[in-house]
Amino acid sequence: QMVPSYTLLVEVRDMAGQPFGLCSTGTAVIKIEDTNDNAPSFKQIQYETRVEENRVNVEILRISVTDADEPRSPSSGAVFEIIRGNDDRSFEITTDRNTNEGILCVVKGLDYESAKQRILVIAVNNEAPYMLAPHSQQLSQSTCSVTVNVLDMDEGPVFKPCVLRLDVKECEDIGTSIGRYLAEDPETGNSEGICYRIPPGQCNWISIDEKSGEVRTIKVLDRDVGEMRRGECNITVLAIDRNGKTGTGTIQVFIRPGNKNYPRILKTEYIMCRDRKPICLTAEDSDESPYSAPFVYRITDRNLASSWKISRHNDNSVYLSPKGDIPFGTYSIPVSVTDNGGKVGEHYIKVNYCDCVTPTECIEEPRVLRSGNVTLGVWAILAMILGSLLLLLILITICGCCGSGVMHRQVTDDCANHNLIISNTEAPGEEVMDHNIIPLQTANDHGGYGIKTGEQQTFEMAKGRGHTLESVKGCGHQTLGSVREGGGQNMMDTCRYSYSEWHNFTHPRLGEKVHLCRQDEEQKHSEDYLLSYNYEGKGSLAGSVGCCSDQQEEEALDFLDQLEPKFRTLAETCVKR
C-alpha cells in the first residue's frame, strides 16, 4: 500500500445547502488496512558458514529478508523453515522479532569424520496468509541455500553404542565375563591407547578391564538380595584417550532369573491303609519360569521301582502307589524330582503300609509322663543316667573309706596289749626293738616267730601265710576265740586266754613253719635242731638255745632287709607302732 490512511473534512448545511443556511464541519479519518499481498524474499540466494564439530546450541548464521507489506505486522513477519539437508535434525532456525532475521543454530554436535560439510535449503513465509487481488499472479516462495563447513577438532573417545545392554544369569560365579564395552577415537577410528574405568558411587555389580574393556561380575548377582531386587542397574563408564580427552557410555545390567534352587517335595511321610489309596506327591521350586514346573518324578531304586509306580497328576504333582500286593511294613522310597531347568532334587518318601481302615489308626502316640503330660526326651533320660552313676560313685567312695577304716583298726588293734602271753618256751624271750623279729620255740616240733612292740605282742606265722590272732577274725579261719568259745564269742570280749587255748590255736599251724625253719638255704636240715623243753613254771633266767635263738649279734639281722612282701608289711606296721 502507498497511503496507510486518509483524513477528510466534511461540512454539513441546512436549508438544502443554500448559502444562507446554517452549517457545521467535521473530520473523518479513513485507515487503509494492509493485506499480505507481497511475499518476503531473501536478500541473498546463497550463504556459507562454518562450525566446530561436536559443538551444540551455537548460532552459526543470521539470514535477512525483505517484505513490501507493512513492517512489524503479521503480513511482513517472516517465518523460516529448513526444507532440505536436516534429516538428523542437527540444525534449527528461528526468527528474531526485532530485526525479522532468521537465526540458524546447531542443536546436535556434528562429526567431522562423518560429514565435513552440510548443505541446507531454507524457505521463508509470512505469519499472515496471502490475500491476492482478483486476476493477480500467484506469489512464489523464496528460498536460499546455506553451506555449513564442519571443522575438525581433537575430540574424546566415543563409545559404540552409547548404551550397551548386558544380560547376566542369576547366581553366576564371581568373575564371570559378561561382555565387552569399547570406545573409539574419532580421528583414528580404533581403540588403541584408550583406558576404561567406572566412576565410584554406582552399584558395584561389575568391573571393566582398564585395557581391554572386558566386563566381569564382582559379586554373585541374586534377585533376592538387597539392591538387586529390581533386577537392573545403569552404570556409567568413562573412556580416556592419550590426550586426556574423555568419553562416556552407559552399561545397562539386567539380571535374568536363573536355576539356583532344587525342587523339593513338601511332604515325605505318609500312611497307606490296606485300601492302597494312591499318595499325592507335590513339589515346589522357588525359581521363576522357565526353571520351575513342570517337574519330572522318578523312582531311583530298581527294586522298589518294580513294586511301586508313579503316575502324573499335573505339572507339580504325581501319584505314588504300589503295583500289586505288597506286605505290610514301612517303605523308604527314593524319588528324584527334576525341574524344567534340569536341576534334580533327591528325596526319600517314607510310606507306612499299615493294616488299617483310616491312617489315624497307625499314628504312633508319643510316650508321655502321666503326671505332667510331658514327653520324656533324650536329654532327660541322659540326665537320669548321669545322676544314677554319680550316686553310685558316691556310695562306692563311702564304702571304700569305711572298709579301709575297719581294716586299719583290725591291723592296729592288739587284744594282747598289757597281757601276758604264754609261749610254752623255756624263757619268755627278751624285749627287742620294733624292727627285730624274735624266733620262738615250743616244747614240741611246732614253733613260731613273735614280734614284741613295747607292751603289745602280735603273733604271726614264719612265712608269708601267717596270721595274727586279730587279723584272722571274721576271715573264715579258726581263731583263738573260736577255740575257746566254739566260734560263738568274739575275741575282743576279753583279750585273755589260757595256755590250752593258745596251744590249741597255734598247734595245727606251726608245724610246717618249724619244719622249714630247720632247713638252711640249700634245703638241708640244720645240725642244731629245735629242742623241746617241759614247762617249768615261770621260766628260767637262761635264754633259749639253738639255731633259731635270738641270741645273735646285731649284724645277723641283715636278713630283715630282704624280707618277703608280707614280712615287709609286718615290719612297717611294727615301725609305725
Q: How far is CA 178 from CA 201, 215, 249, 260, in A?
A: 21, 6, 17, 18
Give Dmax (Cα) for the chain. Answer: 222
pLDDT value at residue 460: 38
DSSP state letters, 140-198: PPEEEEEEEEEEP-----EESSSEEEEEEETTPPTT-EEEE--EE-TTTSS-TT-EEE-
pLDDT value at residue 156: 84
pLDDT value at residue 149: 95
pLDDT value at residue 208: 94
Q: Given a cut of 90, is residue 281 above it in pLDDT?
A: yes
State the burial class of residue 183 (Cβ atoms within 10 Å of its Cβ: 0-12, 13-18, 19+). Answer: buried
pLDDT value at residue 209: 94
Cβ atoms of 481 and 496 closer than 8 Å: no
Q: Go through the domains of the chain in sequence order and give each one's CATH number.
A: 41-131+140-151 (2.60.40.60), 158-256 (2.60.40.60), 264-361 (2.60.40.60)
211-220, 222-231, 389-398, 511-520: range with lowest mean pLDDT? 511-520
Question: Average pLDDT for residues 212-228, to the nearest whole number?
Answer: 85
Question: Average pLDDT for residues 346-350, to the nearest whole number?
Answer: 93
Q: Which amino acid is at 558?
A: D
pLDDT value at residue 90: 94
DSSP-based three-state secondary structure for 555: helix
Highest mean pLDDT of the ranges 4-8, 404-408, 477-481, 484-488: 4-8
The pairing of strands 246-256 and 232-240 is antiparallel
Q: How far apart are CA 16 and CA 349, in angstroms?
A: 130
DSSP state letters, 44-74: -SEEEEEEETT--SEEEEEE-EE-SSPTTST
Q: Which pLDDT band holds residue 173 (cuts at 50, 70, 90)?
A: confident
Q: Given a cut of 60, is residue 89 above it in pLDDT?
A: yes
Cβ atoms of 299 and 333 closer than 8 Å: yes
Average pLDDT, the chain: 77
DSSP-based three-state secondary structure for 310: strand
Q: Which pLDDT band holds residue 496 (cuts at 50, 70, 90)?
A: low
Residue with more model confidence, 527 or 456: 527
pLDDT value at residue 464: 39
Q: How far apart are CA 539 and CA 308, in angstroms?
A: 107
Q: Given a cut of 70, is residue 540 above it in pLDDT?
A: no
DSSP-based three-state secondary structure for 18: coil
Express each pLDDT in 33-78 by its tens digit. 888 888 899 999 999 999 998 899 999 999 999 998 888 888 889 9
Q: Which three cell numbers stand for residue 430?
A: 627278751
Q: How far apart are CA 548 and CA 449, in angstroms?
A: 10
Q: Which pLDDT band holds residue 179 (cuts at 50, 70, 90)?
A: very high
Question: Average pLDDT for residues 519-526, to the nearest whole number?
Answer: 52
272-276, 290-294, 524-528: range with lowest mean pLDDT? 524-528
pLDDT value at residue 409: 47
State the burial class of residue 80 (Cβ atoms within 10 Å of its Cβ: 0-12, 13-18, 19+). Answer: buried
The pTM of the full predicted model, rounded to 2 decimals, is: 0.39
Q: Given a cut of 70, is residue 102 above it in pLDDT?
A: yes
State the burial class of residue 33 (Cβ atoms within 10 Å of its Cβ: 0-12, 13-18, 19+). Answer: exposed
Q: Which pLDDT band holds residue 204 (cuts at 50, 70, 90)?
A: confident
Q: In DSSP terms, which residues pair with 286 in a beta bridge?
A: none
Q: How far apart are CA 5 and CA 417, in angstroms?
A: 172
DSSP state letters, 111-131: -TTT-SEEEEEEEEEESSPP-
Question: Average pLDDT for residues 20-44, to the nearest whole number?
Answer: 89
* Percentage, residues of the chain above pLDDT 70: 68
Q: How far apart are CA 251 and CA 239, in angstroms?
A: 13
Q: Given a cut of 70, is residue 532 above it in pLDDT?
A: no
Q: How far apart are CA 233 and CA 215, in angstroms?
A: 14
DSSP-based three-state secondary structure for 545: coil
pLDDT value at residue 93: 95
**Cell 537465526, residue?**
103
Phi-psi region of 418 (alpha: psi -120 to 50; beta: other; left: phi over 0): left
Q: Given a cut of 60, is residue 159 above it in pLDDT?
A: yes
Question: Average pLDDT for residues 7-11, to the nearest whole number?
Answer: 91
Q: Given a cut of 60, is residue 380 above it in pLDDT?
A: yes
Highest mean pLDDT of the ranges 219-223, 372-376, 468-472: 219-223
Separation of CA 116 from chain center: 63
- In 3D space, the residue among 314, 351, 347 whose CA is nearest the CA of residue 331 turns out to be 351
Question: Average pLDDT for residues 555-559, to the nearest whole number?
Answer: 58
Cβ atoms of 73 and 40 closer than 8 Å: no
Q: Given a cut of 90, is residue 299 above it in pLDDT?
A: yes
pLDDT value at residue 491: 41
61-65, 239-243, 373-377: range with lowest mean pLDDT? 373-377
pLDDT value at residue 463: 36
Q: How far apart are CA 436 and CA 449, in angstroms?
A: 11
Q: How far apart are CA 157 and CA 319, in angstroms?
A: 64
Q: Given a cut of 60, is residue 141 above it in pLDDT?
A: yes
Cβ atoms of 447 and 548 closer than 8 Å: yes
Q: Which pLDDT band holds residue 16 (cuts at 50, 70, 90)?
A: confident
Say if residue 294 is preceded by a cis peptide, omega within 30 of 0. yes
Q: How many CB atoms lie within 10 A of CB 546?
A: 16
pLDDT value at residue 138: 73
